[in-house]
């Protein structure tokens, strides 16, 4: 992609005509550069210019480490236009005096710089009248601790300037709004959910927004802040302090790539140490900021590509995000250091737009990460439910086991409110008689068939009842209903006893006892345990009667009484 971009932009760069991305490009007259001394004054008028230039020391270009310089550029107005705007910019500077001289006696002086009131015009612009047939020149004195790129003098009509200013201002404010809006929202999400990745990303977007706003002079022009040691470079040096830990945490590099984790934290620590250096040596501030940003971008782009190739899904949007940064970065870095002419008409704004695109794609990455986390939690929840179901299900009969029985009792007693007045909780304790004899005489497979038949019959009991196999030949039923439903449950168990005989198990049968709580009475854990014990006692009484009955007169039903479970 970078090679294709370079191939497309190379012809324009060679021709010295940048692509007009943001409106009709301004005219760029050739600039001559001279060193300036503190006591030097500009020429008094256009006639004094040749002698004044002869006394100056020319240099090839300004030093990127700053200083004081004179920049001189001839201004050639086009026929048919008289209202023009001279713009000095394309770089950071502290102070500049823009002087326009003409052989018609024109002498316009505009002071520009950080914290200077620019009225309705943006910083570094001078509205002048240039008449056809006359010669004019712009003489600019600039003083700054560093340059962020080679300074440029632009000439355009006021109408062109207005249109271009509208386009660039709208794009700049939208890009800054994206950074600020995403930063505030995701920072709030991070603080609310205590998610460190979101908090770091929100801080990164806000730091970038403040850094770019300072670069374009918004705090100076809008808020009237004066010049000082703090400038946009410090904000960009701070970006790796939050961005490197964000990348490490988001891509889980501690687990997947411990060496890359150490590199990322090393970049963050180095940038923290570079902040006081940039304050003490302001001429190096931009160089330090460039190294810091380049290092963290290359680090994040490299590890995100590595993570994507390793199948780490959340790296998808990460890779796209850094394409948005690397493409304009590949343009602006060589341009800023004077290695090539700018192939676009505003590389700084293009980079800001790339940062806003990166911010949106990283927000998509966070949203995708949320989706992945939610999907993992849902899988975990379903897995836990499946594990609980397996742990609470008897594999032979498909009924709930003793764990499920105890959980159901806990659920009922935890509600703490009495059941509706139409019914009460009921418990049936059941023994499957004849199982041991069948295992001994016909084998365990036949015994398992008896257990499955009994389980199938218990699973078909009335809808408001739930059957459990407590272990071995012990079963239980928890039901809810009135006294009539209690008797229906007793008859259903009696019919199941007869069905077992019809299914080929003549020696098998059911001994059961059923006990119900009083209608409308809430049950505590102790009360429910008493209900179970009473039903168990009644079951043993039923078993005793079955064993003592004549062979042809087997009793199939148990007597019961709600509340006490006494025999009927």
Question: What's the pLDDT score for residue 4?
Answer: 43
Question: What's the pLDDT score for residue 51?
Answer: 92
pLDDT digits (tens, 9 = 90+) for 218-263: 776 666 555 566 788 999 999 999 999 999 988 888 988 899 999 9
The CATH-assigned architecture of domain 31-147 is Sandwich (2.60)
Question: What's the pLDDT score for residue 277?
Answer: 93
C-alpha angle with apex 292: 291 to 297, nearest 5 degrees? 100
Question: What's the pLDDT score for residue 336?
Answer: 62
Mention the CATH class of domain 402-548. alpha beta
Span(s) in the chain for CATH 2.60.40: 31-147
Nearest 10 degrees: CA dihedral of 147, 148, 149, 154? -80
Give the span between the Cα atoms of 69 and 40, in whole angstroms.
11
Closest CA to 409 of 432, 429, 427: 427
Question: What's the pLDDT score for residue 342?
Answer: 63
- All residue ranges of the chain with pLDDT < 70 are 1-23, 115-123, 220-229, 326-345, 369, 372, 416-422, 463, 549-568
Give the span between the Cα atoms of 376 and 357, in whole angstroms.
28
Question: What's the pLDDT score for residue 244?
Answer: 93
- Tokens 């699973």 -> residue: 459
The maximal CA–CA distance of the chain, rounded, in angstroms, is: 140
Span(s) in the chain for CATH 1.20.1070: 168-380
Beta bridge partners of 97: 111, 141
Give the span between the Cα atoms of 46 and 106, in whole angstroms.
8
Question: What's the pLDDT score for residue 9?
Answer: 47
Question: What's the pLDDT score for residue 8?
Answer: 44
Q: What is the CATH number of domain 168-380?
A: 1.20.1070
Question: What's the pLDDT score for residue 221?
Answer: 63
How do the residues of the chain divide into helix, strand and coil, expressed in percent and rounded to 5?
55, 15, 30
Provide the token pair at 328. Answer: 């304009």
Question: What's the pLDDT score for residue 141?
Answer: 94
């Amino acid at each position: 992609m970078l090679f294709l971009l370079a191939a497309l932009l190379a012809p324009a760069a060679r021709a010295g005509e940048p692509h007009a991305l943001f409106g009709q490009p301004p005219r760029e007259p050739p600039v001559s550069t001279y060193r300036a001394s503190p006591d030097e004054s500009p020429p008094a008028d256009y006639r004094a210019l040749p002698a004044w230039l002869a006394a100056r020391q020319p240099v090839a270009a300004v030093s990127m480490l700053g200083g004081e310089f004179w920049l001189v550029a001839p201004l050639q107005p086009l026929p048919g236009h008289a209202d023009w705007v001279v713009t000095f910019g394309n770089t950071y500077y502290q102070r500049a005096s823009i002087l326009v001289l003409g052989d018609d006696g024109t002498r316009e002086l505009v002071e520009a710089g950080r914290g200077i009131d620019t009225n309705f015009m943006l910083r570094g612009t001078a509205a002048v009248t240039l008449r056809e047939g006359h010669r004019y020149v712009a003489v600019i004195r600039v003083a700054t601790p560093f340059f962020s790129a080679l300074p440029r003098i632009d000439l355009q009509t006021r109408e062109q300037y207005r249109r271009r200013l509208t386009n660039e201002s709208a794009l700049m404010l939208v890009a800054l709004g994206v950074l600020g809006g995403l930063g505030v929202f995701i920072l709030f999400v991070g603080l609310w959910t205590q998610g460190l990745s979101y908090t770091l990303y929100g801080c990164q977007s806000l730091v970038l927004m403040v850094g770019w706003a300072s670069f374009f002079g918004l705090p100076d022009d809008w808020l009237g802040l004066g010049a000082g040691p703090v400038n946009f470079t410090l904000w960009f040096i701070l970006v790796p302090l939050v961005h490197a830990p964000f990348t490490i945490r988001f891509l889980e590099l501690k687990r997947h790539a411990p060496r890359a984790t150490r590199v990322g934290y090393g970049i963050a620590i180095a940038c923290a140490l570079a902040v006081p250096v940039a304050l003490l040596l302001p001429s190096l501030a931009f160089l330090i900021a460039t190294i810091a940003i380049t290092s963290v971008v290359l680090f994040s782009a490299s590890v995100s590509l590595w993570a994507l190739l390793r199948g780490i899904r959340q790296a998808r949007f990460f890779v796209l995000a850094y394409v948005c940064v690397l493409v304009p970065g590949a343009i602006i870095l060589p341009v800023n250091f004077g290695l090539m002419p700018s192939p676009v008409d505003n590389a700084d704004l293009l980079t800001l737009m790339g940062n806003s695109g990166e911010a949106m794609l990283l927000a998509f990455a966070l949203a995708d990460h949320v989706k992945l986390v939610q999907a993992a939690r849902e899988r975990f929840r379903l897995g836990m439910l499946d594990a609980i179901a397996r742990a609470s299900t008897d594999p032979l009969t498909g009924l709930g086991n003793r764990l499920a029985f105890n959980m159901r009792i806990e659920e009922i007693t935890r509600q703490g409110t009495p059941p509706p007045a139409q019914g009460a909780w009921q418990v049936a304790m059941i023994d499957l008689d004849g199982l041991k004899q069948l295992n001994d005489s016909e084998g365990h497979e036949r015994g398992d068939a008896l257990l499955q038949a009994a389980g199938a019959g218990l699973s078909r009991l009335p809808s408001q009842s739930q059957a459990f196999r407590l272990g071995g030949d012990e079963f239980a039923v928890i039901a809810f209903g009135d006294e009539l439903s209690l008797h229906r449950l007793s008859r259903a168990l009696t019919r199941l006893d007869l069905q077992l005989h019809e299914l080929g198990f003549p020696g098998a049968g059911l001994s059961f006892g059923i006990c119900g709580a009083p209608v409308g009475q809430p049950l505590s854990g102790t009360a429910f345990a008493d209900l179970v014990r009473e039903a168990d006692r009644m079951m043993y009484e039923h078993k005793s009667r079955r064993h003592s009955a004549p062979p042809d007169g087997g009793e199939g039903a148990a007597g019961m009484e709600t509340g006490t479970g006494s025999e009927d």
